[in-house]
Structure 1
C-alpha cells in the first residue's frame, strides 16, 4: 500500500508523491498483481486509470500509459526518469531457486543494514519522533494520522510530504528501536536521551535536534507524556509485548482515561 500524501497546496509535494505512487503501482502490475490498497481516496482515480492503461500496454499499445503518466507528472525533470522506470524491466528480486526465497531476507541475518542505518542517531531520532506523535494521536482517539516526512525530488532536494500512518508504523518503529537497544548498537541511555529531547521538542520547551521537521500532532499535556512512557516501556522491556495494544488498550477504558494519572491507572488495570 502506498501511503505518501502531498502537503496541501504544494505543487512539488504533489509531484513527488505521484511519482512514488506511479512507481509503486507499476511495480505491482509488472509482477502480475491485479489490485492494490490505497491510503487515501485521492489515489483511487489515478490508480484505476493506471491499471486500465497498463492493460492496454500489455496488449501492445503503450500510447495511453505514456500520455497518462505524462499528464500526472508534467515536470520534465521528474517525468524522464519516471518513464524509464515505468517502461523498464522490473526491479530484480530474490531468485525463486535461492534457498532463502521461502522466507526472503530476515533482518536478524544482518548485523547492520546497507540500506537503512537503524542504529544511526538520526534514524533513532526519526523513529522516536514519529512514534511519539502517532501514539499521542492514538491516545487521543485517532487511529490514523498523516505524519510529516520528506522525499528526494529528481534534482536531489528534499520535499515535504505526509505519510499516512497507522499502528503498524509504530509497531515497526518500536521493534527497530528495541532491536538496536537489545543488541547494543544503541545504548539505552542514548535512546532515553533522545526520547527526552524529542518530548521537549514536541512540547515546545527544547530545540529541534533534527533537520527542518514539522510537527503534525500538537503537544497534549495529558497524553503526550503517556506516549513517552509507552514508547519507553516498549523499547526497554527485556521481553516486550508482541503488540503495542497489549500496553495501549487499557487507555480506551473510561476509568483510565478520566483518571488524574492515566499511566498509573492503566498499570493498576493491567495488574488487576
Structure 2
C-alpha cells in the first residue's frame, strides 16, 4: 500500500483494515526514515561503552553534563491529566482479557506492555494494538465461557510500553530495512489513539524501556516532537516515564530527565532489568559476582543507592519517582504460603513509600488492595515531591557496590536453570509472562538467571553446599535433568529443546548475549512466515 513498505507476515491481513492502514504505515515509514540512522548509531555507541568497561574503565557521572546536574533552575513539565496521582500502577501484557481486568483493577494506571511481559509474535503485537484501540473507545467488552468481560465506568489511565531500542520488528521493512520495534509500537498506538485519548480527558502516555544514555532519551524526545507535529498536536502533549533499568542510565538520570523535560512524567526503578544490566555491563569484573537471585534484594548496597538517587533526582525536578515490582503473586490453595508472600509484598511497598516513592507497580489485581492501603496510609497527597531526600549522597562507587549478602547455592543454580528454560520456552510459544514457583517471571527475570549462570561458569564460582565448581558441564546436566519436568500447556517440548541448546551454548560464550529476546526473535519471525533475509536476529 505504501511505497517502500513491506509486511512479511500473513498475520497482517487480519489487522490491515483496523491497524495497518495506509496512513498509519506512512507514519511508521516517516519515523523510520527520519530516525533509524540515529538509532543504529546509538546502539553502536553501547558497544563502545561495553568495550571501555571490559578494559577496566569504571562508570562515572558524565563530565560533559555536570552543568545540567548543577543547575537548580530547570524542572520537568507538570503532571499531565490522569497522571497527577499514580500511587499504584498495574502492569501486564495486552491480550484482551488482561486489558479489561487491569483497567478494572482499581489501580490508578495500567501499563500495557508490548515489551518484557509480551512475546512479540506478530499476532500478539497487532492484537494488542487492536485491544488498546477498542479499550480507549469503550468497545472492548466480550463474553467467554459464559463470563462477561466489561469495562467499568472509570477505568485506570492507560500507559503503553513499546519495545526497547535494541529490538527490530522484522515482519515490517521500510526501504529493505527492518523497522525498530520501538517505533512500530509507538507509531501505531499514537497515530490511531492520540486525539481520541485527548478528547476523553487524558493523553498519549508511554513507559520508555532499557535506555543506556541520555542521547537515547533525546531520540525519544525528537520522535515525540516529530509525531506531535505530524498529526497537529501541541508539543508537550505526549508524556513518557523512563525506566531506569540499565546500569549506565543510573549515572545519567538528571540528563535523561533534562532531555525529556517537556514530555517527562518521571522515572521508574525497573529493578529486575537493572540487576540484569548490572551483571551484564560488569561482565569482565569478577568482583561483581552476585549470589542467588533471591538474595539480591532492594536492600543490596547497589540497589539501595540507585533507589535513593532516583527519588532525590525526580523530586529535585518535580516529577514522579515510581517504585518497582515485587515478584510475589497470590498463591491459591495454601493460605499460609499466601500469607507469607503477601507479607513480602506489603513490606516491599512500605519500604518504597517511606523511601519517598510516588507510586509502585503490581502484577496482579488481587495485590492492589495491599499496595493501595500502604500508600494511602503513608502518602496523604497525590505525590511526595516535597520529600527532597537532601540527605542522600550517592557516589559512583555506591552504584557499583556489589558486596551483597548471600551465597551461591545448589538450589539457586537449579532455580536459575529451570526459570531460564521454562520462561524462554513459553516465550517461544507466545507467552511473555508466566507464573513459576509462586513468582511472576518475565523477560527481565529470565535474563537474570541466564547471565548469572554465564557469570558463575566464566569465573568458576563454587556452590556453597558442596564446594562444587559451576561448570558448563554442570549446567548441561541440570538442563538435561530439568527440561523434561517443565513441560506444560505453556511450555512445549519442541521449544524446550530449542532453549536447552541455547542455554548450553550461552554459558560457553566468551561474553553473554545482549538479550535473549534478540537471540530468539528469529524463531518467532520464521513462525510468522517472515523470510530469512529480514531476520537480523536469527541465531
Q: Specify which of 502, 505, 515 is matched with residue 243 of structure 1.
A: 515
- Note if 1:32 corresponds to 2:356: yes
Q: Which of the numbers 381, 394, 401 marks the counterpart of 1:105? A: 401
Q: Return structure 1 stretches of 4+ with deviation > 4 angstroms.
A: 216-219, 268-272
* Distance in structure 2 (CA, Å) of the matches to 1:133 and 1:25: 28
Once the two structures are superposed, the pairs formed by residues 49-88 of structure 1 within 5 Å of their partners are 49-55=373-379
Residue 46 of structure 1 aligns to a residue whose secondary structure is helix
- Per the alignment, do residues 114 and 14 of structure 1 end up closer, same or farther by CA in structure 2, a change over 3 Å counting? closer
Q: Is the 8 A contact 1:199 1:228 kept in 2?
A: yes
Secondary structure at the counterpart of residue 37 of structure 1 = strand
Task: Count matched residues.
Answer: 194
Q: Deviations over 1:180-207 (max 9, x none)?
A: 101122111112111111124336xxxx
Say whether the 8 Å CA contact 1:6–1:14 is kept in structure 2: yes
Residue 269 of structure 1: CA displacement?
7.5
Establish whether residue 10 from structure 1 lines up as the match of residue 334 from structure 2. yes
Q: Which residue of 2 aligns with 1:96?
A: 393
Q: Match of 1:234?
A: 506
TM-score, length-scaled by structure 2:
0.33
Q: Which runs of no fewer than 5 residues in structure 2 stay unpaired?
A: 1-324, 381-391, 462-469
Secondary structure class of the residue paired with 1:49: helix
Instruction: After TM superposition, list the pairs within 5 Å mapping 1:110-259 onto structure 2.
Output: 114-117=405-408, 120-148=409-437, 162-185=438-461, 186-202=470-486, 220-253=492-525, 255-256=526-527
Greater per-residue strand proportion: 2
- Contact 2:425-2:496 at 8 Å conserved across structures: yes
**C-alpha deviation, 1:97, in angstroms:** 6.4
SS of the aligned residue for 2:478 comes to: helix
- The answer as to whether partners of 2:506 and 2:512 remain within 8 angstroms in 1 is yes
Aligned partners of 1:143, 1:99: CA distance in 2, in Å?
A: 34
Q: Is the 8 A contact 1:136 1:217 kept in 2?
A: no
Query: Does structure 1 retain, via aligned residues, the 8 Å contact 2:447–2:516?
Result: yes
State the 1:12 CA deviation. Answer: 1.1
Note closer, same or farther for the CA distance 1:35–1:143 as it changes in structure 2 (3 Å cut).
Answer: same
Work out whether residues 6 and 13 of structure 1, in 8 Å CA contact, stay in contact via their aligned partners in 2: no
Q: Secondary structure at the match of 1:138?
A: helix
Q: TM-score, normalised by structure 1?
A: 0.63
CA RMSD of aligned residues (A): 2.9
Query: Which 5+ residue runs of structure 1 have no aligned equivalent?
Result: 57-94, 149-161, 204-215, 259-264
CA distance in 1, matches of 2:524, 2:396: 45
**In 2 relative to 1, CA 257–240 (structure 1 residues): closer, same or farther, beyond 3 Å?**
farther
8 Å contact from structure 1 (residues 131, 173) kept in 2: yes
- Asked whether the 8 Å contact 2:328–2:439 carries over to 1, the reply is yes
Contact 2:431 2:490 in 1 (8 A): no
CA gap of 1:218–1:39, structure 2 versus 1, over 3 A, is closer
Shift of the 27–138 alpha-carbon distance from structure 1 to 2, 3 Å rule, reads same
Q: What is the deviation of 1:122?
A: 2.4
1:5 and 1:187, CA in 2 relative to 1: closer, same or farther beyond 3 A?
same
Aligned to 2:266: none
Going by fraction, where is helix more abundant, 1 or 2? 1
